[in-house]
Structure 1
Amino acid sequence: MIQIKEISANETFPIRLEVLRKDIPLPYEFNGDYDENTFHLGAFKNDKLIAVSSYMKESNKNFEGNQYQLRGMATLMEYQGFGAGKLMLKQAFGILKGKKINILWCNARIAAVDFYKKQGFQTFGKKFEIPFVGEHYVMFIALNLL
């Protein structure tokens, strides 16, 4: 069984590095990781941290209202497809709704677009390139409509 818990920024770093930044010359520590409004979730299976996600109070000029940005969503390869990401998002939606946040947005890698669509996110605009990482779409979900 997978359990979701709030974790520290430092606890996200090993999985971010392994899944998102391996052999890529970009930092795995993000601006905003330690801000008071930021929170991080971890998915645990048998007390082992298998997935992480971070939520930062950051606005995108394309959207209105109170917004948060999802960053650093990552699941260890051998645990992908077991629902950890979906469970973290479900818990985050509840936390964010409690903070009166109406838009959660992210820069989604092309490989993750279908996952986010299954969770209710929509793409916005055209795909764009992040150097060393690849093509992305801005994606968002209107939490006030859930």
Structure 2
Amino acid sequence: MTVEGMRYRMGLVCPWRDLPKVFGYWNSIYKRFNAWSSSNKWVGVFKALIIDPDWEWKFIDGSYIKAHQHSAGAAGQEPQAIGKSRAGNTIKIHLAMDGCGLPVEFEITAGEVNDCSVAPQFIAKLPDAEAMVADRGYDSECIREQIVKKGARGL
């Protein structure tokens, strides 16, 4: 029920304290979620769920997430991927999906980081495919060359 409580909270984007009692005590679920996030256990779960991706086509895109107003600037914390953009404090998630639209790889950067600057190392992580679809943010000559070197058509 702990993971179900986490999924419920992420789906509704509600405060931890508003979790229904059926999932258990909210603070226990929060502490478990926080521990798993700190230890990168969620990355392992994400990788385990990608058993047989459809690599004929790859889709990549980036999306901004607005960070909470109190999320940046606390003293003594490790660096986090929070940056300034026109929208304020933001984080950017670069996501790759397979031909079925399922996420298969991701990269988290500060909000002001350009898609073109992340794309080379992001694309290098992905296996070869027949075609790669990306938006204008990933449109540059060096990225197109990298896609062709990996044996794919850039669309």
TM over 0.5: no
TM score, norm. by length of structure 2 = 0.29
TM score, norm. by length of structure 1 = 0.30
Structure number with higher helix proportion: 2
Tell which structure's C-alpha radius of gyration is larger. Answer: 2
Structure number with higher strand proportion: 1
